Amino acid sequence: MKVLLAHSFYMALDAKQAAIKEPFPPLGTLIAAGQLRQEGFEVDVFDAMVAAGPQDFKTHLAQSKPEVVVFFEDNFNWLSKMCLAEMRQACFEMLAEVKARGLWSVVVGSDASDFPELFLKAGADYVIKGEGEWRLIELLKSRQTGPGVFTLSDGLVFGSPPEKPVHDLSRFALPAWDLVDLARYRAIWHQNGRPFTLNMMTTRGCPYRCNWCAKPIHGRRYDIRPANQVVAEMQNLKAQYAVEAIWFSDDIFGLNKKWLASFCAGIQSAFGSDPVPYKIQIRADLIQEETADWLARSGCREAWMGVESGSQKILDAMDKDLNLTQIENATRLLKKNGIRPCFFLQFGYPGEEAQDIHATWQMVKRLKPEAIGISVAYPLPNTPFFEKVKDLIENQDHWQISGDMQPIFKATYPRAFYPLLYRYIHLLFCQLKGKLPLRDRLRFWQLKRSLRTFQIEGIPF
């Protein structure tokens, strides 16, 4: 059977990502492709990330002539986890095309796991909730529903909950990198003056309980690939595809100290003193003297931490299980070991007042991370945070693209305040680093003036 695997995250449809120009191939889709190939399916991939839009999918579909199309989203990329409306619409358009050609289709991804009915009514024959690789193989072979597979019956959604995930990650195939145009990715990274970076994962899931964080695919587990398998994959990416850097897209890298020590030893024996530089997401409370040293020696050059807020009150309200001293220590240790500390910040969480926003900026000023990424609190379905604010939701629409920064629920300040705050803090940070471009100086003062019109006491705009 010939299967066309596709996904629906189009960099071209997301103005923010199109401007950043740091695309990653769809890792989750490519692992599923590798898995299907191992089972004897003929597999082709349509890669939306570097396509112009759903019209490219139509052309690809006509040429590929598959028997079934599987929309398998990259569940390792936070952009797919955002479930953006623009990408959902793109998926619907592609589903309509599949239907028009009389083919059958399956959808696997965060958005479809949360809202199977929408995807089924848009033309999908099946939606697989949760981790999809193994269930997909069963479905393609038998075309019978099973745990986690949802379909429409007399217009109603029908299906049963997913089974437990597969914990032994060594059973998953390696990504089928040969099915995407890596030369194109390399060219984009190089044109942007950046090293050619590919994405890998070492774990699935996260055991922490931050109450706004949705985990529709991998849940609150933590499974790790054998360290030697990860090192071998890095060697292969370097030898075969001349990769120059790696982004480990795990929610939490290196939570298990024993694993991290053995990973570091494996890297040193495979690469000596010239490891492939990599960046990670990690919790601040996991950075200690020993872990920072292992990370540095194994090639970690950048660590993004979900710092969220400089106000302990807000961290506690988020169930972040993190304190400000841990953030400070982690930042210091990373810098000491030559790793760039970077902060994810979040504004607009319920109860956040002017003094909390001010505390967040003061923390940034004091600790001077290398970079910051800002988001605004967003109630994703099936999270405790969603339950908390569901009666305050004013706008039922999802965010269209990743640059949307207006709260969809009634936050402390007016909705229009937050996108301005987002841009202003970014420029303030550039100024702090002495890198505020000349062209942005006027914009900076305009933003400051606009923020003052909200007359919010306690933030020195």
CA distances from 211 to 294, 377, 378, 386 (A): 30, 11, 11, 9
User: Residue 157: what residue type?
Assistant: V
* Closer residue to ligand SF4, CB minimum distance, 225 or 283: 283
Angle among Cα 210, 212, 216 to the nearest 5 degrees reads 95
Residue 319: other Cβ atoms inside 10 A: 15
Q: Hey, is 112 helix, strand or coil? A: helix
Nearer to ligand SF4, 122 or 282 (CB): 282
282 SS3 class: strand
Q: Which residues contact 428 (CB under 8 A, 6 or more apart)?
A: 361, 444
Q: 49 or 210, CB closer to ligand SF4?
A: 210
Out of 92, 172, 208, 413, name the contact with ligand SF4 by CB under 6 A: 208
Residue 58 sits in the site that holds ligand SF4 (CB under 6 A): no
- Is 213 a binder of ligand SF4 (CB under 6 A)? yes
Report how far residue 110's alpha carbon sits from residue 114's, in angstroms, rounded to the nearest whole number: 6
Segment contacting ligand SF4 by CB under 6 A, of 64-72, 208-216, 292-300, 440-448? 208-216
Query: Are the CB atoms for 46 and 32 separated by under 8 Å?
Result: no
Nearest approach, Cβ of 251 to ligand SF4 (angstroms)?
4
Binds ligand SF4 by CB under 6 A, chosen from 283, 296, 309, 378: 283
- For residues 131 and 251, which CB has a smaller minimum distance to ligand SF4 in the complex? 251
Q: Which is nearer to ligand SF4, 88 or 215 (CB)?
A: 215
Q: Please report how close the Cβ of residue 25 comes to ligand SF4 at its closest, in angstroms.
A: 22
Of 133, 251, 352, 404, which lies in the binding site for ligand SF4, with binding defined by CB under 6 A? Answer: 251
| # of chain residues touching ligand SF4 (CB under 6 A) | 8
For the record, the structure tokens of 84 come out as 């953006």
Of 108, 136, 206, 330, the one binding ligand SF4 (CB under 6 A) is: 206
Strands 104-108 and 245-248: unpaired
DSSP letter for 233, please.
Answer: H
**Binders of ligand SF4 among 321-380, rule CB under 6 A?**
none
Q: Which is nearer to ligand SF4, 122 or 305 (CB)?
A: 305
Partners of residue 156 on adjacent β-strands:
153
Residues that bind ligand SF4 in the complex, under the rule CB under 6 A: 206, 208, 210, 213, 251-252, 283, 306
